[in-house]
Amino acid sequence: MSALQVSWPPGTECVAKYNFQGSTELDLSFCKGDLLTIIGVTKDPNWYKAKNSVGREGMIPANYVQKREGVKSGGKLSLMPWFHGKITREQAERLLYPPETGLFLVRESTNYPGDYTLCVSCDGKVEHYRIIYHSGRLSIDEEEYFDNLMQLVEHYTKDADGLCTRLIKPKLMEGTVAAQDEFSRSGWAMNMKDLKLKHTIGKGEFGDVMVGEYRGTKVAVKCIKHDATAQAFLAEASVMTQMRHTNLVQLLGVIVEERGSLFIVTEYMAKGSLVDYLRSRGRTVLGGECLLKFSLDVCEAMEYLEANNFVHRDLAARNVLVSDDNIAKVSDFGLTKEASSTQDTAKLPVKWTSPEALREKKFSTKSDVWSYGVLLWEIYSFGRVPYPRIPLKEVVPRVEKGYKMEAPDGCPVVVYDLMKQCWTLDPAGRPSFRLLREKLQHIRAKDLQL
């Protein structure tokens, strides 16, 4: 690292590129892949003071570590950057020009709809191999079968196995970036061999959430096995690389497997989801101070998203997790997008979603504020399902006529007033998360004086 390089401020996260064995007791030894946080700069630009994941501190050489950066190309990240979709045989041949043996791409078959074609440059010409789709599996020679295109491509990069050449270099579709390369470049790629998966703690339609261990640290791992679904979750992972807040579940890294699986590794939240936590403890265990703290924790995370122009879109107590030391953290960035975009509303949670988001697909920080009001109601009702005793199909019509849920038993009037402000039908009339946070802090300060 040259003296001209800009020094990284304290709090910068970095990942070790090499092993480092310290030569004095002031040094902090580490292994390749370890996560480190800069805690101080020194007069010597070649050294930083840093701490590791267990809090040990010491000096580290700057050229042994790589700064972690947010992955910015969310929409262009691809698990299959060599897949060009519907292009003709002639277009494929033009893309593979000038000829370079082993240069390849995959396209949809023009002659056999539903099948694919592997196009490979070899000895100055392009060979086209039909990939047959049979009983849910893919094959070129009907001897070797694969679950998806990624597995097929991985196989033929290792061995020509009857093709004119081994697949050597992918022809990337214009505008796409190989996901593995991007996560590696920005310091977020983890190594599968360092991850031990233990047991399942949650099942979803997209895959399992498991408890694991990464280099001795307990972690949670979202395992997405199907290649198309994994592709969709790349956006979630790339959003998480840009987000840093005490009250957001922290991404630790991403593993992109060649065989089409994606593993999103996050900090482990020992006490599970907020909704389960509230239901299992109840009002005999959790006092008003605790409920107010959870409300503030979530509000501070949402204020951070608001300031960074991100919309969560699925804020609810089920998507807030509780740490071992009782800190509530917002999770599940699956739907998070840059502000003011639209999406398919078919799968939206009706009871948590604002009227304008349901009706016109208009998502904004203000629609998150509506959801936050519902989440406050969940907190103060100890995890009850919102709109009790109202059939689901009646919820929207009644809400659009101005209906608001009643205050949960024992909920302070000042907190219920905040809920009602969040449920203002006109989005412009709803408070900002910053204002909500200020009001909650004011309520908390008054409670502490009593």
Q: Is residue 1 part of a domain?
A: no
pLDDT of residue 336: 55
> pLDDT tens-digit profile of 206-240?
788 999 999 889 999 999 876 667 877 888 888 88
In a domain, 432, yes or no: yes
Q: Which of 252, 267, 282 is the last residue of a domain?
A: 267
* Same domain assignment for residues 338 and 428: yes
Above 50 in pLDDT, residue 3? no
CB proximity list for 335: less than 8 A, separation 6 or greater: 312, 313, 314, 343
Residue 180, in any domain of the structure: no
Structure tokens given for 255: 């593993």
The pLDDT value recorded for residue 346 is 54
Same domain, 35 and 142: no
Residues 329 and 226 in one domain: no
Binding region for ATP = 222
pLDDT over threshold 80, residue 327: yes
pLDDT, residue 335, reads 54
Beta strand 217-224 with 195-204: parallel, antiparallel or unpaired?
Answer: unpaired
Per-residue pLDDT tens over the stretch 67-83: 999 887 545 888 899 99
Q: Does residue 188 sit within a domain?
A: no
Identify whether 256 is part of a domain.
Answer: yes
Is 123 in the active site? no
Residues 324 and 233 grouped into a single domain: no
Decide: 445 and 414 in contact? Cβ < 8 Å.
no
Residue 105's nearest CA partner among 128, 82, 127 is: 82
CATH number at residue 58: 2.30.30.40
Same-domain pairing of 427 and 299: yes
Instruction: Give the model's confidence band at 133: pLDDT under 50 very low, under 70 low, under 90 confident, else very high.
Output: confident
> Are residues 442 and 308 both part of a single domain?
yes
Give how many domains the chain has, as a whole number: 4
Domain CATH for 150: 3.30.505.10
pLDDT at 341: 42
Domain residues for the domain of 221 are 194-267
Query: Residue 242 is part of a domain; what is its CATH number?
Result: 3.30.200.20
Instruction: Answer with the residue of higher pLDDT: 385 or 284.
Output: 385
Q: Can you say how many angstroms the Cα of residue 304 is from the centroid of all Cα atoms in its chain? A: 16
Say yes or no to pLDDT of 299 above 90: yes
Q: Residue 295 — very low, low, confident or very high, per pLDDT cuts 50/70/90?
A: very high
Residue 280 belongs to a domain: yes
* Residues 6 or more apart whose Cβ sits within 8 Å of residue 247: 297, 298, 300, 301, 304, 327, 328, 329, 330
State whether 207 and 342 are in the same domain.
no
Neighbouring C-alpha atoms within 13 Å toward the C-beta of 265:
23
Please check whether residues 294 and 228 belong to one and the same domain.
no
- Over residues 162-216, the pLDDT tens digits come to 999 999 999 999 888 888 889 998 999 999 999 999 999 988 767 889 999 998 8
pLDDT of residue 2: 41
- Where residue 342 falls among pLDDT bands split at 50, 70, 90? very low
Instruction: Compute the average pLDDT of residues 415-437.
Output: 98
Tell whether 252 and 219 lie within a shared domain: yes
Q: Is the pTM of this model over 0.75?
A: yes
User: Are 262 and 279 in the same domain?
Assistant: no
Q: What is the pLDDT of residue 95?
A: 97
**Which domain CATH number covers 357?**
1.10.510.10
- pLDDT digit string (tens) for 21-63? 999 999 999 999 899 999 998 889 899 999 998 899 999 999 9
Of 314, 324, 325, 417, the catalytic one is 314
